Every structure is written in structure tokens, then in C-alpha cells.
């Protein structure tokens, strides 16, 4: 059979930002509208060929629909075909969403390996894709291969935080450490302020506490020893001193 016509169109990921444009298992493609006009009949179908980037050069178009490589063949043959769609879907007059989702069918894998399926991609890739028009007698037209498409790498399930309101574990650990340091700093500042207040109160105390920690040297003055009374002197009551007894006054003569 004649080789399929090579169309100048290059499949690509939409340049605009959109949710889920690239994930760990899927990616979005621009929808190739008005590309197959004049190369496909209404009875033809358009397929998407997905291959690992290093296997795209060795991919061979299947001669019939029965030979289409299935989704389950990707790990061994490094390529498969999916998104079988009527060629009329890509006509210029058909309004439709502008993107195609590759790898969006999570139910793939239980069809016995023969039905076409748009299952999740098993690794980050990179991948290359192209569109292939299939007729009753085999391939009729095809686009060029896309540039390599690299998916996001998935994180390990063990690193996922089960609480959606909490931040990552590293952030939580850092926050805990900062909180502990702040509490320790506050305690140190309060302790320092308490010491200063205590010292201020001690300096203001003018009582015995000021002198309780000081030592003084004083001169010892021995007490005066009692002196013996002079002869003929008798002690008077306390506080009146001593006096010498006087002889009695003689009585007047009669």
C-alpha cells in the first residue's frame, strides 16, 4: 500500500495555563481541528499514537485496526494507540473543546488487552505522540511526532500529609522549633527582668538588711570596776553617792 500522507501539523501541549495540563500520569493536547480535511473520509478514524520518546523512531504504523497496539503493550513494546475518534469530529465546522486528555481513563487494564484504552501513563516519560488517520485499507495520513513531553514526578504516598489543613512536615518541624526558641527567649527575658527588680528592691531597703552583710570593727571600752568606798564612808541609796558620817550634834545644856 502507498505510505500515508505526512501532514505538517506537530501535536503539542497547550501553551496556556490550565488545570491538570501536566500531571504524574496524564497530559493535555491541543485538539487538531481542520488538520485532516482533504485527507480523511467520514468513515475514517483518527488515532493517537503514544510512544516513549526513544521508541518513536522505531514505531511502525499498523496495517489494519486488528493490528493496533493496545494500551497494555506500552511496557513491552514502548508504544500504543488510543483515542479512536471519527475523522468528522475534527472538522472545522464542529464546535468542541480545544484540548484532548491523554491518560485520563483510570478503568483501563481489565479489557483483556485488546480494546483501545486511554489509561494513565506509568512513568514520567518523556513521551512523543502523533495523530494517524486509519481507513478501511490501512493508514491514510499522519502528523509529525511531537516534541518530548515530560510528566511531573509523583511524590511517595508516605510523604503525603493526611491532614489537608496542615502544612508540610518540614514546615511543621521548623515552626515547632521556632516556637520553642521563642518560648525559651521569653523565659530568659522574664528571668533577667525579675533579677533586676529584686536588686532594685534590695537597694531601696534602708533597714538592717543593708548592714547585715557588712562587718564593722569597733573599739572595746571595758566597763568601770567598782571602787571601794573611802574609810568611814557608807553607801547611800542607789543614785545618791557616798557620804562621810558626821558625829552627832551634842544636845544643848539645860
* Higher pLDDT among residues 130 and 184, named by residue: 130
- Band (214; pLDDT cuts 50, 70, 90): very low
The pLDDT value recorded for residue 91 is 87
What pLDDT, in 10s, does the model give residues 127-156?
999 999 999 889 999 999 999 999 987 565
pTM of the entire predicted model: 0.60
Identify which of 29, 30, 9, 7 has the alpha carbon closest to the alpha carbon of residue 139.
7
- The beta strands (E) that lie in the chain are given as 5-6, 27-30, 45-52, 79-86, 99-102, 127-135, 138-142, 234-235, 242-243
Beta carbons of 48 and 131 less than 8 angstroms apart: yes
Integer angstrom CA distances of residue 217 from 206, 213, 214, 224: 21, 14, 10, 22
Mean pLDDT of the chain: 75
Radius of gyration of the chain, Cα coordinates, nearest whole angstrom: 54
Domains, the chain, with CATH or none: 5-153 (2.60.40)
Beta carbons of 80 and 33 less than 8 angstroms apart: no
Cα 78 to Cα 55: distance, rounded to the nearest angstrom: 6
- Band (170; pLDDT cuts 50, 70, 90): low
Is the confidence at residue 53, as pLDDT, over 60?
yes
Is the confidence at residue 216, as pLDDT, over 50?
no
Beta carbons of 71 and 80 less than 8 angstroms apart: yes
What pLDDT, in 10s, does the model give residues 220-243?
555 555 555 555 555 555 544 554
The pLDDT value recorded for residue 42 is 84
HSE-up of residue 16 (Cα within 13 Å, Cβ side):
4
Integer angstrom CA distances of residue 221 from 67, 173, 175, 225: 130, 75, 73, 12
Amino acid at each position: 500500500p502507498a505510505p500515508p500522507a505526512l501532514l505538517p501539523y506537530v501535536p503539542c501541549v497547550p501553551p496556556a495555563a490550565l488545570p491538570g495540563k501536566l500531571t504524574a500520569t496524564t497530559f493535555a493536547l491541543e485538539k487538531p481541528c481542520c488538520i485532516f480535511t482533504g485527507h480523511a473520509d467520514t468513515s475514517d478514524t483518527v488515532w493517537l499514537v503514544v510512544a516513549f520518546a526513544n521508541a518513536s523512531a522505531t514505531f511502525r504504523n499498523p496495517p489494519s485496526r486488528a493490528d493496533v497496539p493496545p494500551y497494555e503493550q506500552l511496557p513491552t513494546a514502548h508504544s500504543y494507540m488510543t483515542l479512536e475518534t471519527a475523522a468528522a469530529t475534527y472538522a472545522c465546522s464542529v464546535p468542541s473543546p480545544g484540548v484532548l486528555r491523554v491518560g485520563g481513563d483510570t478503568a483501563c487494564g481489565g479489557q483483556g488487552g485488546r480494546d483501545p484504552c486511554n489509561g494513565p501513563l506509568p512513568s514520567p516519560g518523556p513521551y512523543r505522540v502523533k495523530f494517524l488517520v486509519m481507513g478501511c485499507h490501512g493508514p491514510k495520513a499522519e502528523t509529525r511526532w511531537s516534541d518530548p513531553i515530560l510528566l511531573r514526578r509523583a511524590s511517595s504516598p508516605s510523604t503525603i500529609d493526611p491532614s489537608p489543613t496542615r502544612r508540610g512536615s518540614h514546615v511543621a518541624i521548623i515552626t515547632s522549633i521556632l516556637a520553642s526558641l521563642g518560648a525559651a527567649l521569653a523565659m530568659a527575658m522574664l528571668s533577667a527582668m525579675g533579677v533586676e527588680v529584686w536588686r532594685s528592691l534590695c537597694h531601696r531597703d534602708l533597714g538592717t538588711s543593708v548592714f547585715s552583710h557588712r562587718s564593722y570593727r569597733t573599739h572595746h571600752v571595758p566597763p568601770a570596776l567598782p571602787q571601794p568606798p573611802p574609810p568611814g564612808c557608807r553607801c547611800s541609796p542607789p543614785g545618791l553617792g557616798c557620804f562621810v558620817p558626821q558625829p552627832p550634834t551634842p544636845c544643848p545644856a539645860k
